[in-house]
Structure 1
Amino acid sequence: MKFIHLTDTHVIAEGRTLYGANPARRLKLAVESINREHGDAAFVVVTGDLTHWGDEEAYEAFSRAIADLHVPLVLMVGNHDDTPAFTARFPQAMRDENGFVQGARQTEEGLCLFLDTRVQGFHYGGYCPARLAWLQAQLEGSTGPVFLFMHHHPFEIGCGHMDDIRMLDHEAFRAVIEPHKDRIRHLFFGHAHRPIFGNWDGISFSCMRGLNHQLGLFLRPENGVVPGNLAEPAYGVVLVQDRNVIVHMHEFALRAPAFDLAPPPGVDSATWALEMKHPGFTDY
């Protein structure tokens, strides 16, 4: 099974830029890339922060930007989203019995659980008793492999500012998933705007870059500054088979010089490597 992990699109009303970039345009480029290169994916999941300010115009712009996607779509919310505005524009989006934007999808490789970690009015995440009860019921009522998707990370990633606004109900969350930990094959999240891969208490995890802007690596924040940059956007191409979960980060709009590593017939490989020129390229 293959699926696409996209996150933190931060779309705003069309005709404007965010930190100097055009999030709607970047989303359209991602859609074109997915259709062209990964049209056989089982689904595309966007793990929250669809918009930057959660306004109606931004959701309209997001809807237009993603309208041409040929792959089934799963939409989640993050701290920059607004649930009423989101559900008004996407009334068919998943909802649980309490109105949270979360749901389940059974696949050939296991159960995918999409969790709503948004807390109204705050940038940190949470997972209240009602949501915990829903998650517990999903886990107890199923067998086989499980894949978890969420916006906020439920553990520290080493970046002070982002750790301050992680999912704060992490201990209660951990207690619910603990009995099922051996079944959880991978945890996918966004929010951090960085490619991060690792293992949390025996559970492998991955985080993708944001689509509009990225977070610079800062393990020790200085003077309250949160460094950002406009590195190339990326999405995750996830391959699940048997006992393997492989996550590729695809920089679909890469502007660095591209070339064939293998020389054409009749050309010496050393000559090919040493004499290759890239117009306009200046090394560091």
Structure 2
Amino acid sequence: MKIIQVTDLHLVTPGDMLCELDPLKNLQACIANINENHADAELVIFTGDLSDTGGDDTYRALAGELEKLIPPYKLLLGNHDDRSAFLRVFGSVTPEDGFVQSVVNTAEGRLIFLDSLSEGFVEGRLDEARQAWLKRRLAEAADKPVFLFLHHPPFPMFMPLIDGLGLVEADALYALLREHGNVRHIFVGHAHRPVAGSWRGIPISVIRGTNHQNALDFTPDRIMTTLEPPAYAIVFIDRDMVIVHSHDFLDRTAAYR
């Protein structure tokens, strides 16, 4: 199974710039690149911060671009998003327990898409309602493998300011995943960094956003924005492995021979 992960679009009003970049043009380039190279993907998953402002106009712009995307897609929310505005524009999305979360069953296992947005806060939350929802979805998976997608990392990356803005209820999340016992991978966004490793024995991966990035800087009191290339991930999953490629889709150096 091939899936694509895209994250942190940070769309603003069309025509406006963010960090001296045009988030909408970058998204258009991302979608064109996916269509050209990965039209056979089973699913494209956008892991939050679809909008930078939470404005209806940003979600309308996103909806227009997604009409051009060949593979099917799933949308998750991040801390910059506005749940009500998103649902106004994406009227076909049915909330579960009031949140933008769902599951997809595949031949390789169950994909779970978790809403970690706590509106008004940068940190992600997994309150009792979302924990109960996740517990039910894990129980339904029985002994099948589970692959979890959410915006906020529940694990540290040793970048102090970013680590303080992750998922607050990380311990509660781990307890649920440990109870299921067959969680193969956790995919997140939020950090605007390419990061891979494991958290309490569960493999994890993070990718860059499609607009601006955060610098590789371990200084305790700052987060620096960089213009490193935007990226998306190409993920291959089968019974034996999960392989994640990070693709810099606007890296012009890749064109040389």
Taking structure 1 as the reference length, what is the TM-score of the superposition?
0.88
The Cα shift of 1:94 comes to 4.5
How do residues 44-193 of structure 1 correspond to structure 2 at under 5 angstroms?
44-96=44-96, 98-143=97-142, 144-181=144-181, 183-193=182-192
**Mean CA deviation greater in 123-132 or 170-179:** 170-179
Q: Deviations over 1:1-28 (max 9, x none)?
A: 0010000000111111101000000001
User: Equivalent residue for 1:198?
Assistant: 197
**Pairwise CA distance, 1:257:** 5.6
Structure-2 separation of matches of 1:120 and 1:40: 35
CA RMSD across the alignment: 1.1
Q: Write the mapping of 1:234-245 to structure 2, written as runs, cut at 5 A.
A: 234-245=231-242
| d(CA) in 1 for partners of 2:198, 2:93 | 30
Instruction: Label 1:257 to 1:188 Cα distance change in 2 as closer, same or farther (>3 A).
Output: closer
Deviation at 1:115, TM superposition (A): 0.3
Q: In structure 2, how many angstroms separate the alpha carbons of the residues matched to 1:64 and 1:138? A: 31
Match of 1:275 in 2: none
Matches within 5 A, 1:21-60: 21-60=21-60
One-letter identity of the residue aligned with 1:232 = P
Q: CA deviation at 1:85?
A: 0.1
Q: What whole-Å deviation, never above 9, does each CA across 1:62-98 have from its counterpart, x for those lacking one? A: 22233200110100000000000000000122521x1
> Hey, what's the Cα distance between the residues in 2 that align with 1:21 and 1:220?
25
- The whole-number CA distance in structure 2 between the counterparts of 1:152 and 1:230 is 22
Summarize the Cα distance change of 1:140–1:257 in structure 2 as closer, same or farther, 3 Å threshold: closer
Q: Residue in 2 aligned with 1:10?
A: 10
Q: Determine which structure has more spread, i.e. the larger CA radius of gyration.
A: 1
Paired positions, count: 256
| 3-state DSSP of counterpart to 2:255 | coil
Output the CA distance in 2 between the equivalents of 1:73 and 1:128. 26
Q: Distance in 2 between matches of 1:94 and 1:18?
A: 30
| Partner Cα distance (2:117, 2:75) in 1 | 13
Does the 8 Å CA contact 1:190/1:210 hold for their aligned counterparts?
yes
Identity of aligned residues (%): 39
Question: Any idea what SS the aligned residue of 2:141 has?
Answer: coil
Following the alignment from structure 1 to structure 2, what is the Cα–Cα distance between the partners of residues 174 and 165? 17
Secondary structure in 2 matching 1:141:
helix
Once the two structures are superposed, the pairs formed by residues 187-266 of structure 1 within 5 Å of their partners are: 187-221=186-220, 224-256=221-253, 258-260=255-257
Aligned 8 A contact 1:10 1:212 in 2: yes
Contact 1:25–1:65, Cα closer than 8 Å, also in 2: no
